Amino acid sequence: MVEKKNIALCIVFTVLSCGLYGWYWLYCLAEDTNRLTGREGAMSGGLVLLLTIVTCGIYGWYWLYVSGEALEQYEVSRGGMGGGHLGILYLLLGIFGFGIISYALMQSELNKYAA
C-alpha cells in the first residue's frame, strides 16, 4: 500500500540535506506510483534513481511525464475527472528547475489514495 507522507517535511528535509533527501523521495515516489497504478513491471525506484543520476536528470523528466500520466489514468479509472494533464505539468516544472514542486504535487496525488 502507499504510505502517506508529510509534503512540507519532505521539502524541508530535501533543502536541509542539500538535495540528498530528494533522491530518497524520488525513489519512494517511483515505488509508490508503481504500486498504486499497478505498474509493477515498470522501472523500479532504484532504476529510476540510477538513470536519473546517470543522465544528469534527463531521464527524471521523462519519468515525471510518464508517472503523471499514469496517476491521471488511475484517477480516471476510479471515477475521477482527469483531464488535468499532470504529466505535462510535472515535466514542465522539472525542465524549468522546479522538480521539487513536481515531487510535492505527485506526493499530494499519492496521499489521496494512501492508507
Q: What is the mean pLDDT of residues 79-99?
A: 91
Question: Looking at residue 17, what is its pLDDT?
Answer: 98
In the predicted structure, residue 104 carries a pLDDT above the cut 90:
yes
Question: Looking at residue 103, what is its pLDDT?
Answer: 98
Question: Looking at residue 56, what is its pLDDT?
Answer: 97
pTM of the predicted model over 0.85: yes
Question: Looking at residue 13, what is its pLDDT?
Answer: 98
Grid cell of 79 as nine digits: 471515477
Nearest CA among 99, 112, 36 for reference residue 62: 99
Average pLDDT, the chain: 94
